[in-house]
Amino acid sequence: MKRNNNKNANQKRTRQLQERQARHNNPSTANDILVEFNAVGRMKGLTHSSGRRQVQGITIDDARARLLDDGIFMKPTDDGGWMIESSLVDVPALVPNHHPMELFARKHQQAYGADKPLFNYEFLTKCLNLKQGEKRPTVTFTFILDADLNLKSYSVDRTVFENLKQCNDNDIVRELAKGDPDVQRWMDLGHRLHEKRTKEMAQVCNNLAVNDNIQPTSAPHFPPHPGYEGTDLVHEIMRMTNLAAAEYFVDNKLPAPFKQAQGFFKVLHASTDFNFDLECNNIALDVIDTIVRTAPPYAKISSPMQKYRDFLGLKILTRHLDGKTLQVADAKDVERLTTTFNKATTKQDHTTQPGWHTIWVEHRAGQGASPHQAMERDLTTDIGALRKECKDRGWKMPKLAERLLLVNGVDIVMVALKCNEAEDGKKIAWAAHYDAATALNMAAKRMTRQIQPSPAPAPQGPKP
């Protein structure tokens, strides 16, 4: 009986080994790939005796996050600016070149969502997860900002990151309630970075309109997103990291999976004139397209555990840091990836087509009158002055259409006005700003200038 039991156990182990080898040869999940190299030993060698610079910081992720792939550290400088370190887990340092894990990630990079790692989960957990109290191999971008948060310089090198604290937005909220001065300064930094980027984007939008020297009529306050202060800070620092990576690729003439700036819009208010709204949609897309075309290149490398393109970009960057040449297979993969994931960002928006009429009717049915009625009746505002001008001429109030433009993570409100009773039968004026009231008043001021012709020069008498 004992002999038969041993025989059955041996057969079971053999069958399990065969099944495991079959999954390895034809994997359906990342965990099917065997980690046959000494990953833990390799990790210890990189973190203890590789001569990498030692850095420290914190991680801020969702409370449910199981894998942490980026860490940050912020320190005020003597001139009122900031030194920011952004550390990304150095996945390419531990994944052997063209290992089955990398080949699997390349094959399945479109089939998996951002919350599913493309590499063996146990391997990531033991060797790369930036959990608290552990040292892990990383790539660190160091930014030096001046007092106005303008970038003075940046550098990038391979490092060893030690996570001092693992927290999430709930932890941040509790620390803010306690009055922790460091946490408050960090959150203020994230808030200021977002505010600066939004203002710069709004200025780009304003410059696309008529250059009539109209200044914004307000400088609104940017309240933080309650409960998301930590997420906002990480988002801004990761944007800086990806932009710096793109600059590194360009300066060193390296191919990279550049991501086109994305933008789209939402309809906030539809007028009573379908053709005007259709024209407004085209204006919105033109504004977005112009911003996208003039935006600096953007290369994603900040999610090297979850996205293959980020892993590939980081691999090319770190090989260059080490003085190694670019591999032909990686360069071809960059071209393929860039073409694939940028196709989705260049599709024609359906709201520029006549078929949008059905959606337009739904918007009209679901909204009331102008969302800015109180301001229109205030004669001290530009829109109030325009209303009075139209009333004095016996004209109807110009039609109003409002759109929310979303470009590179920034919300911009665009307001368009149309006056059918103007001298030439139709006049349209628009403006874009991060504040809806300012956009409305700027558009109103432009409309007023259009319908009020410049006064004719005074006749000159005969010369003496």
* Model confidence pLDDT, tens digit, residues 61-81: 887 888 999 999 999 999 999
* Model confidence pLDDT, tens digit, residues 158-216: 999 999 999 988 888 888 888 889 899 999 999 999 989 888 888 888 777 766 677 76
Cα dist from 3 to 11, 15, 16, 201, whole Å: 12, 18, 20, 77
Residue 425, classified by CB atoms within 10 Å of its CB into exposed (0-12), middle (13-18) or buried (19+), is exposed
* Model confidence pLDDT, tens digit, residues 326-341: 888 888 888 877 776 5
Strand order in the sheet with 263-269: 263-269, 399-407, 410-419, 427-433
Q: Is the pLDDT of residue 347 over 60?
A: no
The stretch 32-61 carries a mean pLDDT of 90
Task: For CA atoms 299, 302, 303, 308, give the dihedral sign.
Answer: positive
Q: Measure the CA–CA gap between 401 and 282, rounded to whole angstroms.
A: 12
Of 109, 103, 90, 95, give the one whose Cα is nearest residue 47: 90
pLDDT at 21: 67
pLDDT at 383: 94
Query: Which tokens sit at 191?
Result: 């808030």
Describe the chain by its helix, strand, coil percentages, rounded to 5: 45, 20, 35
Task: For CA atoms 185, 190, 191, 192, give the dihedral sign.
Answer: positive
Q: Is the pLDDT of residue 7 over 90?
A: no
Contact 415, 402 (CB under 8 A): yes
Kind and range of the H or E element at 53?
strand 53-60
pLDDT at 128: 94
Percent of the chain with pLDDT strictly greater than 70 = 86
Least confident range of 250-254, 385-389, 404-408: 404-408
Alpha helices by DSSP H, 296-349: 308-321, 328-343
Q: Is the pLDDT of residue 154 over 70?
A: yes
Give the best-scoring range by mean pLDDT among 130-144, 294-308, 331-345, 425-439.
Answer: 130-144
Q: Is the pLDDT of residue 26 over 80?
A: no
